[in-house]
Amino acid sequence: MVPSSPSTTTGNEKEVVRAYFNGTGFERWRRIYSDTQEVNRVQEHIRHGHNKTVAAVLHWLEEDGDVKTRSFCDAGCGVGSLTLPLAAMGARGITASDLSEAMLSEAQRRAVAAGISTEQVRFHVADLEALRGEFHTVVCLDVFIHYPQQAAEAMVRHLASLSRNRLIVSFAPYSLSLSLLKAVGSMFPGASKVTRAYTLKESGIVAAAAAAGFQPTGRHLFCSAPFYFSRLLEFQRC
């Protein structure tokens, strides 16, 4: 049974995120998630960290083999940073979704440019709460930054309900030092603060997965680059 849809902190917060990635934020993140040199130092660090997280997931999937016979859900796919190389590995049952029509259109454009067959990837615009279906593996990378703790835990349970076997998620881990850094940074003008960024306690994420019948596999990664902090965890159905 699919649980009731989790929600963000406020009723309009999701719409703020949607509008940002369909508007002013789209070009910024399109550049970050590409190989263009038209990025500043902060954006370059974010790109490096994100690429490292994606590379770790691809390595885990490649280690396990059989990507051609398994179904995947890339929840919050952005411009296709995970979906496209996964398709290039031979995966044919990928469902890729994103809240932003602009980001998803860019992912589709890149897929066509890479010669990826429409039979391999099904793209559709949807927020995480609206996702339905059943997949061997569900992956959600660098999306929980938009979810506070309680909503993120509810989302873990929701995504787990879509997975027959494996769940892989990343999030910005809570720490006192990072919280202080965020507090200091919020006092100064500069980078866009249109959308809120949340750090999460790993214990709550693990407990939410356990409540949905999943346990950690032991494969994990902590990626720390200036302006990018990410904890990557893999879970398997018990």
CATH code, domain with 158: 3.40.50.150
How many Å apart are CA 117 and CA 189, to the nearest integer? 44
* Average pLDDT of span 51-67: 97
User: Do the domain assignments include residue 75?
Assistant: yes
User: Do the domain assignments include residue 142?
Assistant: yes
Range of the domain at 72: 32-237
User: Do the domain assignments include residue 137?
Assistant: yes
User: Do the domain assignments include residue 157?
Assistant: yes
User: Do the domain assignments include residue 147?
Assistant: yes
Q: What is the pLDDT of residues 140-193, one digit of tens each?
A: 999 999 999 999 999 999 999 999 999 999 999 997 555 554 444 443 344 444
Distance of CA 220 to the CA centre of its chain: 15
183, with CB counted inside 10 A (0-12, 13-18, 19+), is: exposed
Domain count, the chain: 1
How many Å apart are CA 101 and CA 124, to the nearest integer? 9
User: Do the domain assignments include residue 22?
Assistant: no
Residue 125: enclosing H or E segment and its boundaries? strand 121-125
Structure tokens at 176: 């006192």
Q: What pLDDT, on a 0 to 100 scale, did the predictor assign at position 191?
A: 45
Q: What pLDDT, on a 0 to 100 scale, did the predictor assign at position 190?
A: 43
How many Å apart are CA 41 and CA 36, to the nearest integer? 13
Question: What letter would DSSP give residue 166?
Answer: E
User: Do the domain assignments include residue 182?
Assistant: yes
Q: What is the pLDDT of residues 72-127, one digit of tens each?
A: 999 999 999 999 999 999 999 999 999 999 999 999 999 999 999 989 999 999 99
The answer to whether 107 and 26 are in contact (CB under 8 A) is no
**pTM for this entry:** 0.90
User: Do the domain assignments include residue 18?
Assistant: no
